[in-house]
Chain A
Amino acid sequence: MKRLLSIEFQKIWKNKASRVLLLAYFVLLSSIALVASIKFSFGTFEIRIADQGIFNFPYIWHFNTFVAALFKIFLAVVIVSMMANEYTYGTLKQNLIDGLSKKEFIYSKFLVVGSFALASTLFVFIMSLILGYSFSSYTELSIVFTDLEYLLAFFIKLFAFFSFCLFLGILVKRSAFALGFLTLWFIAEQIIYWIVKFVILSGDDKHKNFGDTMIKYFPMESMWNLSKEPVTRFNAVKTIENAMGGAQNIKDYGVHFSEVSIVLVWTFIFILTSYYILKKRDL
């Protein structure tokens, strides 16, 4: 495993574009901390975002993982081009001739995907701890370490998404096309959902029907669903909602086992299909 990782990281790190993207990704992740410095002024009245409970434990786990996941596209580009380059340079063929088996090749790529997801998770964990201890109103250990399942969900979300990217890279062989395909896939999921829910079943916005059940099983949507948007959970937003007399928004923000397992099944499918494609293909 060490050998394969050292091979793959040499390939990535020596490439200037990948190196820049990797660094940019971690810099952007750190920029979440900058939210702390945002201030609004209403005349003499000043609101500092950091003091509004956005960095309160355990809410911070939810907020930070959700925002951090938005930056994953940077690593997705690195992963897709890493795979597509192997085709365009002809090095996939050469690696195999030099004595890497197809299994080892796929395995090493998924090791990279796994380490990217793991590194991101650790980074977000440490950053959230620091931010939390600086700004949270509660710092009792029992509160700090509640709701850590958001971190697990974050890890799985990234791992699944990167596996999907890798799979597309292997399938399509060209990075630009693979990224285009990724976008296309996302749009296709939404269109199918829309057609099933509103056209075929003639449903409406208020009532759930088969369309809503179905879309939970689509790969992109299931990854998205792993952690729900945290904004409406934020106290300040709730207060405003109450003040405006809107109906209390009862929403389940938790991470559910069923959703995790859907994503894990997809990840498994992506890994196995990638191996199958590579095995069947004449290079």
Chain B
Amino acid sequence: METILKITNLNKIFNKHLHAVKNVSFEIKKGNVYGILGPNGSGKSTTLGIVLNVVNKTSGDFEWFGGKSNTHDALKKVGAIIERPNFYPYMTAKENLELVCKIKGTSLSKVDEKLELVGLLERKNDKFRTYSLGMKQRLAIASALLNDPEILILDEPTNGLDPQGIRQIRDIIRIIASQGTTILLASHLLDEVEKVCSHVVVLRKGEMLYQGSVHDMIENNSFFELKSDDKEQLKLALQNHPSIEKIEEEEGKVLVYLKQDIAAKDLNSYLFEQKIVLEHLVKRKNSLEEQFLELTKN
């Protein structure tokens, strides 16, 4: 699969002491939807700022499209919005987008098409400063799509929006993703990432904690919830099972964490052989949120 962006050992130190990005490396492949997760101040925006040429890196490297073109040429094939929508307030939506077309060197004919996609066509001749935050954010997405980019980078696209606004943005992202555009989405709204992304990178305090598919991140951490009349005997029997890592008690239930995956049916028959009859057996997965909180704890 074609690599769109490759980051190797990237570091950023602000003002000689604030280490905002520590040795981050990852790759973005064509066609996937990536999420960058991390609490506020974890270095998400800084990392994006570096690859987008607005923040200077301290050390390390990044390479767009296999290093075939320099960064500012590569950026003409990228669509990005970061933090908040930045436009000239005294120009209309149409004029703002035409300006972006001139910068990117694309034809002005795309302007109406993209305004239509984000549902702003009727308001195209209104000044940007009259727009609501949700409309501004949608205009920013339209602007990022003007050049039909190979990759769309969105940094907190739903920040500060109302539920309708969040839904609209999410729907637009879905449409774009379904058209095969690679997307890199930085967010701390985890259900958003879980719903939209196929891969995640998790950052905390500038360090990369996890990189891989959303599926693996959740799947590797399944656990059982068990209940039986004789809790002590149940625990004793479980301790002797080779695939079990630890046992915890919560609200009268026994939670069983695994070293390696076992099927629910196998666990059930094992316990039955040990003369234990279960009252309650559920195999559960941590949601991305729980998994994320676990990863970024302390």
Query: A-side interface residues toward B, CB under 8 Å?
Result: 3, 6-7, 10-11, 14-16, 85, 89-91, 93-102, 104, 279-280, 282-283
Contacts and interface: CB of A to CB of B under 8 A. Distances in A.
B56 A282 contact: yes
7 contacts: A14-B88, A90-B84, A91-B88, A99-B73, A99-B103, A100-B72, A282-B55
Given A14-B88, A97-B52, 8 more contacts: A10-B99, A16-B90, A89-B88, A94-B86, A94-B87, A97-B78, A99-B75, A282-B14
A90 B82 CA distance: 10
Interface of B: 14, 49, 52-56, 72-73, 75-76, 78, 80, 82, 84, 86-91, 95, 98-100, 102-105, 143
A97 B88 contact: no
A96 B53 contact: yes
Nearest to B74: A99
A38 B95 CA distance: 46
B141 to A, nearest CB: 13
B103 A10 contact: no
Contacts of A85: 88
A245 B82 CA distance: 73
Contacts of A104: 72
A89 B88 CA distance: 7
A152 B80 CA distance: 45
Nearest to B91: A14
A93 B105 contact: no
Contacts of B52: 96-97
A11 B88 contact: yes
Nearest to A11: B88
Nearest to A103: B72
A97 B75 contact: yes
Contact of B82 (A93, A95, A279): A93
A98 B90 contact: no
B82 A97 contact: yes
A92 B240 CA distance: 64
Given A10-B95, A90-B84, A100 B54 contact: no
Contacts of B104: 98-99
Contacts of B55: 282-283
A90 B91 CA distance: 14
In order of increasing CB-CB distance, the 6 nearest A-B pairs are A90-B86, A101-B72, A94-B86, A99-B76, A99-B75, A283-B54
Nearest to B84: A90
B95 A95 contact: no
B102 A15 contact: no
Residue of B75, B95, B98, B143 ringed by the most chain A CB atoms within 10 A:
B75
Contacts of B87: 89, 91, 94
B89 A97 contact: no
Contacts of B105: 3, 99
Contact of A93 (B56, B86, B95, B103): B86
Nearest to B73: A99
Nearest to A85: B88
Question: Of B52, B73, B104, which is in contact with the most chain A CB atoms at under 10 Å from its CB?
Answer: B52
